[in-house]
Structure 1
């Protein structure tokens, strides 16, 4: 069921019309200018019409039904008037937030993680929101958490060899994937998802310590690799400069000793203690 525009008039115009019809109908009844039954019916009808007024606040709508049939939605702000027999139910079109609880799921590698998300949404089809689902607000919360669970199982927590996208390293890609997943589930409820992003992400407590050690080890290895790469380049430059400027000539054994000493100095965790050679070079 799709939304359609419901019948409604400007409320102030309707007041002017009823203010004219009410004394006119009473005058007709008092002067017996016509059939008494029709005159009385006109007076009663005008009195009933006063019950057709309603107010619409900004970013709200009135879904109208007539004996169980959907007749349309009124979205014009201010005082409005419609047929008094229409049942009118208010529905908000304002932007709303939903924050899920912390869910415990397994990522793509089977590691238990804790994850939560914030979903920004708004109703864009009042007929679907009102009639296609029993409670669209509850539907949003349940389906958002289901989509979050499903999305979390398709990505790893951290980026490893062979992975292209991870929950922690690619927040934009993950947020877009989560938004699309939720939107597909909420389409039938007349809800438009404006934004979806992860608000909490962590390893489950039972493996958090082990994973922290793993991350630290990976960071140390990466740092050591960078240090060694830089140290080798510096040693290569030092040997080339010594040879180019003919400062000293070193045989292969002395070159090996110099390389060893430079690597120890450059790659060591602590500062080295210099040793002064008071004798000859050899």
Structure 2
């Protein structure tokens, strides 16, 4: 622990005093999350074929082709429902269509035929093609929701056993906050939501929970020495300040790794690693500015 304290020592930040500002920021994030959830439920978000069914094709051009040219070529042909996303930093595009392979012609062959006809002379290669049936997509969506709900229930049970019921509920609220915030940010950014995104959400939920438990552990230790209710504010602030250096070092290290994955991992892993990067910041923020102040409010105002 001494190694962490060499970086930031003796902080006396009044985090409880900052709770109202944090709650306003969180209200905005939750509003975005609710909007994103509604849009996902209506199928109007950038959902991958993992959830919607259909075929996803990753094509990379050797010549310069604009997204407008590609859209005109596809929509003007049989693939009128095609959704196109440009892969930044490359000449590649992700094409999503509701079509699936048939005995007459598979989607990759159809794409080749259209590109050769509509964009003559433009050199390209199809790097990847994935097809998912509509029934499978709905099943994956349902299982993703079930996995998220089960994780929340597990959080309540685990924290309630290790600490008490109040801490369990607060930890669940903070984790739910993180999930909704990530969903809202991804929706606003227009990034694709796929199975890897769900994996990132569950990963960040566990990461954020670990941060929250570290703070809760310190709060519990200090509460055992507390002499009066008036001391509880100093218990919360003291606990957060005491682990602040550890939190910063741990999260900075994790951020550097995920940032490297984000920029060097290629287009396939970009959205996954971007979700991790965003989640690290949100998870750290919620454990300090949401979870701990909620414990303070619950104890002071409700009990």
TM over 0.5, shorter chain: no
Between Structure 1 and Structure 2, the one with more strand by share is 1
Structure number with greater Rg is 1
The one of the two structures with greater contact order (alpha-carbon pairs below 8 A, sep at least 6) is 2
